Structure 1
């Protein structure tokens, strides 16, 4: 029995290109400049702010007719289904398929499946795609933009990470959550915490500022999530964690010096194996000084403003 194979399609803004590829590397161990990626690794597409859909491949062939022959095996009985062609845009080096042609191909495949077609509320959604000279058919899962609903929080800072960046950073830090304990010891209003908790990541928060901790707790509760957020400096962390996420504090109300940045990284080195740091400053020398090594990095841009995302072990 062969391993499962999945095809992921992506949508990302030009400014998010590097961050998207960094998330790919964390999830799959590889990346691509393309908007489509194949992997045997199964990721819920709703975890990523960039993945548009995921096709779990059931059948493949060099010709479209080979796909239609294979789908004759599918017997859904009275269950409902619909079939969707993924070639709505250029995918890698494969051209877009026009609207009328897509509808025609969808009907051809649909006629071979034993089941009840339902275009509005199907129990099963199948998809197919032409990619690099081959055809693939399988179960289709669309991404839900969960992060989008987290944009309007009861408490917000103008300098906080966007929900899309925060979600990607959480995925980069904890791509495979099972058995992983994480901490955000400078959590601010909890933007990263909300995204991580909504994905089932085992993470706790902490911040030295009592007011923002209270705001963080309210933000978490607002979305029906449960998470622990403590008040206190990073120096008070006593447990060990598999990974730490640090969005280096900065804004008009948090004047952090280079020495304070260094101290935060030193403290993290004490209780964690891996740290993902988001910073507007170049702090490579600090990271090396405390014994971490940068194993991956990217720049997340928003217009003329940019942040560095560093994975350190």
Structure 2
């Protein structure tokens, strides 16, 4: 196969419900620095599509053009040698009207590009899959990869709380807090049953859990081990944390066993101040005044909905 040079652009397609839109957009802003109302985003930033609970597919762009003919012409320069390939025209709901192509049109375009490429096509088990799509009036083709819903495997835990975050929300929360895990140390000091820990650890995030309740610490450890992950969960209050972290994720306690009073909540936030530069708070009630009193400034936020149950996801930085 001749060397194909990527342009440095990536296109991601998304799937989310109306209830999840705000959370998905906050995750987009964390990954890419901007969001969109479309279910497609183009960026120079590379993200493993399986990290996000909302990303469906990724195209690593190899070439682009104003017309389909431009793509066919460039495809004619591709020689796959002994490598089998397949071309797929992405099925996307978010395309603008000018970019829409019907089913038969898509199959025909796939055939035209497949015929232009030198090599053996294999629609069932190709070595390489190329993805093709029109977007914002231009055509793009590149290496195609599909997201694996790893979070889905984490839905059934040995230990569960009815008030715990869903795995999809927990995964998005971990991504918002830690878009790039390289060299980042994270603490979840009110980790509960470990929903965020499991998602973060499964994405290679260096995270430590902690809780004041010995039963949930035990449950959290069991959940982590159940999925073949390795992570530390300590017993004790956040006030006893002496290590410095880059990020803290705090899902404010509000269940039957550990409902925190406003004074407790403020105490948790103040205890976070000396140990982290960046703080993500998950709360069922607005606590902007507490966050500011604890010495943080809010940099982004959204409402995560689950039916009638609302949670605020609030991203903060230590005030200068």
Q: TM-score range by the shorter chain?
A: over 0.9
1:4 aligns with 2:31: no
- State the partner residue of 1:260: 264
Report if the CA contact (8 A) 1:89-1:95 is conserved.
no
Please report the TM-score for the alignment, with normalisation by the length of structure 2: 0.95
CA distance in 1: counterparts of 2:140 and 2:7, whole angstroms: 15
CA drift of 1:99 comes to 1.4
1:75 aligns with 2:84: no
1:242 aligns with 2:249: no
Unaligned 5+ runs, structure 1: none
- State the partner residue of 1:282: 286
CA distance in 1: counterparts of 2:6 and 2:152, whole angstroms: 36
Please report the TM-score for the alignment, with normalisation by the length of structure 1: 0.97
Report if the CA contact (8 A) 1:21-1:32 is conserved.
yes
Runs (4+) off by over 6 Å: none
- State the partner residue of 2:309: 305
Match for 1:172 among 166, 173, 176? 176
CA distance in 2: counterparts of 1:163 and 1:202, whole angstroms: 18
- State the partner residue of 2:118: 114
Report if the CA contact (8 A) 1:277-1:309 is conserved.
yes
1:186 aligns with 2:190: yes
CA drift of 1:249 comes to 0.6
Report if the CA contact (8 A) 1:45-1:143 is conserved.
yes
Match for 2:144 among 135, 140, 143? 140
Secondary structure in 2 matching 1:115:
coil
CA drift of 1:89 comes to 2.8
Secondary structure in 1 matching 2:35:
coil
- State the partner residue of 1:149: 153
CA drift of 1:96 comes to 3.4
- State the partner residue of 2:51: 47
CA drift of 1:254 comes to 1.7
Paired residues, what number?
A: 313
CA distance in 2: counterparts of 1:93 and 1:310, whole angstroms: 35
User: Would the alpha carbon gap of residues 284 and 88 (structure 1) be closer, same or farther in structure 2, given more than 3 Å must change?
Assistant: closer
- State the partner residue of 1:124: 128
Report if the CA contact (8 A) 1:89-1:96 is conserved.
no
Mapping of residues 25-64 of structure 1, within 5 Å: 25-64=29-68
CA drift of 1:97 comes to 2.0
Unaligned 5+ runs, structure 2: none
CA drift of 1:93 comes to 5.0
- State the partner residue of 2:88: 84
Match for 1:269 among 265, 270, 273? 273
CA distance in 2: counterparts of 1:225 and 1:2, whole angstroms: 34
Report if the CA contact (8 A) 1:90-1:96 is conserved.
no
